[in-house]
């Protein structure tokens, strides 16, 4: 799952290398096509489908044909010099004690379980791909918000430096320093004049 998230992160962070930005559907389809667990379960399901097909073989009729040819140099009075034999045999499974039917039923049940496992793995991979995509989008938005915060703090710092230059403490004759409100701020929040 970490590999999938890392690959998805690389594709989304470097869209020029991938040929453009990904949508969530493209990310999910890429994950389903490339994830090793999905491939593994697809191959298991295909192998089980082949087992079911081979389990049907005992129910089909069997036909056997053989041909043999003999040529003899020394023959007796009643034997032929050239002899050939052709044999054809057909058989059909009528009853084998339900062993073939039970084996086919077991193969079909295993196929159903294999398909269910495949769908479960695919759902897990889709969920992981969507979560990774959403986390990547969230990280991008957090990065944008952090950049905006840095710009805002930089502007506030610059403004604070400017305002401290304008408002400087004034000295009185009594050698005590006393800070005074600037004239614009006295009217709204400063001390009232006596």
How many C-beta atoms surround the C-beta of residue 27 within 10 A?
Answer: 21
Percent of the chain with pLDDT over 70: 73
Give the model's pLDDT for residue 6.
62
Give the model's pLDDT for residue 17.
46
CA dihedral 89, 90, 95, 100 (to 10 degrees): 100
Give the model's pLDDT for residue 122.
95
Give the model's pLDDT for residue 186.
55
Residues of the chain with confidence (pLDDT) below 50: 16-18, 190, 194
Task: Give the mean pLDDT of the chain.
Answer: 80
Tokens 């470097």 belong to residue:
14
8 Å CB contact between 114 and 44: yes
Integer Cα distance of 175 and 179 in angstroms: 13
- Give me the sign of the Cα torsion angle 144, 149, 150, 156: positive
Residue (of 87, 86, 14, 94) closest to 58 by Cα position: 94
Give the model's pLDDT for residue 7.
60
Give the model's pLDDT for residue 117.
95
């Amino acid at each position: 799952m970490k590999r999938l998230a890392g690959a998805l992160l690389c594709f989304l962070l470097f869209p020029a290398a991938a040929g453009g930005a990904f949508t969530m559907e493209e990310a999910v389809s890429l994950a389903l096509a490339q994830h090793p667990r999905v491939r593994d379960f697809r191959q298991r399901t295909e192998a089980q489908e082949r087992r079911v097909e081979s389990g049907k073989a005992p129910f089909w009729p069997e036909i056997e044909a053989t041909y043999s040819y003999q040529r003899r140099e020394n023959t007796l009075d009643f034997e032929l010099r050239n002899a050939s034999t052709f044999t054809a045999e057909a058989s059909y499974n009528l009853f084998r004690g339900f062993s073939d039917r039970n084996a086919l039923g077991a193969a079909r049940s295993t196929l159903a379980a294999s398909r269910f496992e495949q769908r479960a793995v695919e759902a897990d991979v889709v969920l992981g791909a969507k979560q990774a995509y959403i986390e990547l989008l969230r990280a991008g938005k957090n990065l944008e918000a952090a950049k905006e915060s840095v710009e805002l703090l930089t502007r506030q710092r610059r403004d604070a430096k400017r305002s401290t230059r304008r408002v400087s403490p004034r000295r009185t004759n009594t050698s005590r320093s006393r800070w005074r409100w600037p004239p614009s701020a006295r009217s709204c929040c400063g001390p009232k004049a006596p």
